[in-house]
Amino acid sequence: MRTLIVGANGQLGQELQATASQTKNHIELIAPKLERLDICNQTQVDSYFAEFKPALVINAAAYTAVDQAEQESELAFESNRDGVANLASACKAHQARLIHISTDFVFDGRASVPYKPADIAKPLSVYGSSKLAGEEALQTSGLEDYLILRTAWVYSSFGGNFVKTMLKLMAQRDSLGVVADQIGTPTYAREFAKAIWAMALNTEFQGLYHWTDAGVASWYDFAVAIQEEALEIGLLKIPIQINPIATAAYPTPAQRPAYGVLDKTDTWDQLNCAPTHWRVRLREMLNTLAKSSGNL
């Protein structure tokens, strides 16, 4: 199946390429960089589809600079809303199936139990609003065969992310303060990529779903686990002090949901898969990183 991965150079895009050969189907991958396919450019999208005629499209592209988006609202909406609309329109014209990735940041974080896909979205940030607008653009595009997958707290051995930032800081400092009052679920992009392939290749999956690894954590819990696991396998040599701090002590331009745990029950049931705790997946990612000589 000829499959177009958009955002191929991002952390999820690279994991999708790395896991494509593990699917049962034969996947013919097309994975252009941003310079070759900018989803904001409708003419370029249309001519790219006319040339390559993909049957399946996975959109892992997004404007993901959450804090910078507060100053660059137009750019965020251009990629995260208009870009999605352009892809949906091209998929409709070519009868292609579209898999689109979204985020827990569409929620306001005032819940205390995991968010279900149908729960009311109320973003707190420009990034969250632009991602929600992208979901809505796809839902109202007239394209029938699509999937929206919301995820959260994604990390990988590819690209930049919280795990790699923590490892760098833990190697440089004597102590670190990490936010302890934001709760979510760390998610290894490699496992998410495998789940995406499973859902993308099964057309019984239609509409809106949630996916993260299992369990919950604060950023502080996540940082403590990163240090423990990294010390265990020699990625870090000396433990440092990690202190829990309040969000108010670490102000950022964008407001983040205090609670961003997603309910994955329906996804896991339909996939018939056993959920795996995020800490197990963290260990796997750190081992992958260690094998690539700890390249941060």
Ligand X SMILES: NC(=O)c1ccc[n+]([C@@H]2O[C@H](COP(=O)([O-])OP(=O)(O)OC[C@H]3O[C@@H](n4cnc5c(N)ncnc54)[C@H](OP(=O)(O)O)[C@@H]3O)[C@@H](O)[C@H]2O)c1
Binding site for ligand X (CB under 6 A): 6-7, 9-13, 34, 37-40, 60-64, 79, 83, 101, 103, 131, 151-154, 159
From the CB of 253, what's the least distance to ligand X, in Å? Answer: 17
The CA angle 165-170-174, to the nearest 5 degrees, is 140
Considering the complex, state which of residue 4 and residue 170 has its C-beta at the smaller distance from ligand X. 4
Is the CB of 87 or the CB of 286 nearer to ligand X?
Answer: 87
Minimum distance from residue 37 beta carbon to ligand X (Å): 6
Residue 14 or 227 with smaller CB distance to ligand X: 14
**Distances in whole angstroms, Cα of residue 104 to Cα of each of 14, 71, 95, 123:** 21, 21, 29, 9
Residue 104 Cβ, how far from ligand X at the closest point, in Å? Answer: 6
Cβ atoms 105, 128 nearer than 8 A: yes
Least distance in angstroms from the C-beta of 238 to ligand X: 28
10 Å CB burial of residue 159 (0-12, 13-18, 19+) is: middle
- Nearest residue to 143 via CA among 270, 57, 52, 76: 57
- For this structure, is 115 an active site residue? no
Spatial separation of the C-alpha atoms in residues 228 and 218, rounded to whole Å: 15
Query: Any idea which residue has 């992958």 for tokens?
Result: 288
Q: Shortest approach of ligand X to residue 112 CB, angstroms?
A: 21
Q: C-beta of 212: minimal distance to ligand X in Å?
A: 9
Q: Nearest CA to 84 among 42, 117, 126, 47?
A: 42
Q: Which is nearer to ligand X, 107 or 205 (CB)?
A: 107
* Residue whose CB is nearest to ligand X in the complex, by number: 10
Query: Among candidates 58, 55, 52, which has minimal Cα distance to 20?
Result: 58
* CB-nearer residue toward ligand X: 9 or 218: 9
Sign of CA dihedral 20, 282, 119, 251: negative
The one catalytic residue among 115, 127, 146, 209: 127
Residues involved in catalysis: 127
